[in-house]
Amino acid sequence: MLCQVDRSYLEDAFNFAGLEELVPCFAQAMDIILDVQRDSGSTTDSIDRMSEDQRDIIESAAELLYGLVHQRFILSTRGLKRMYDKYKACGFGRCHRVYCRGQPVLPVGQSDVPGKTTVNVYCPRCKDIYFPQVASDGNIDGAFFGTSFPSLFLLRYPNLVPSLPVETFVPRIYGFKVHYSSPLNK
């Protein structure tokens, strides 16, 4: 679900503003993301000399940092274009709802704070969110996309906003519509 963040975007320190407080081992995580060479050798060499616990902490921090920068990148002009290409190729999946007729979906987080929820997908036709169809996508932190992405994306590309579904499911028993006062219709 993630798109590749441009190297030039990653090299601009402005795009990391405020993330130092959210990400442990920020400097080491930055080194991993940028694959920075230090005087003592490459980033890979220095990571190899760490204990397994230290390595896990720094790799998790790098993953978190990249995800938070990804959230910012996809709201930029270049990021929106990358996500547009993925959307057009149905890279995020299609709506599960029958009456949405295979509408492509967009990734969305229910929180901008990391660790709160995993990513969901938003259907612009029925205007609801669902779990991703690919199980492994459900392990991605929702903050890596944020709560604003689908709305900003559809404002940027208004021609992609579909009409609402005209059909709805009508509960029936033996071919007869269930009365409107039934709990099935609430």
Residue 168: partners with Cβ closer than 8 Å, 6 or more residues away: 99
Rounded-to-integer distance, Cα 127 and Cα 155, Å: 14
The predicted model scores a pTM of 0.85
Please, how many CA atoms are within 13 Å of residue 116, restricted to the half-sphere of its CB?
14
Q: Looking at residue 182, what is its pLDDT?
A: 86
Q: Looking at residue 150, what is its pLDDT?
A: 98
The four Cα atoms 28, 30, 31, 36 give a dihedral, to 10 degrees, of -160
Residue 35: partners with Cβ closer than 8 Å, 6 or more residues away: 42, 43
Q: What is the pLDDT of residues 30-73, one digit of tens each?
A: 999 998 765 555 555 566 677 788 888 999 999 999 999 999 99
The four Cα atoms 106, 109, 110, 116 give a dihedral, to 10 degrees, of 160
Joined together, the tokens standing for residue 160 give: 């992609």
Specify the residue for token string 């400097």.
27
pLDDT at 126 over 60: yes
Q: What is the pLDDT of residues 94-106, one digit of tens each?
A: 999 999 999 999 9
- For the chain, domain boundaries: 7-73, 92-160
Tell me 171's DSSP state: -
Nearest alpha carbon to residue 110 among 140, 134, 74: 140
> Domain 92-160 carries which CATH code?
2.20.25.20
Q: What is the pLDDT of residues 132-159, one digit of tens each?
A: 988 788 899 999 999 999 999 999 999 9
Query: Is 34 in contact with 42 (CB distance < 8 Å)?
Result: no
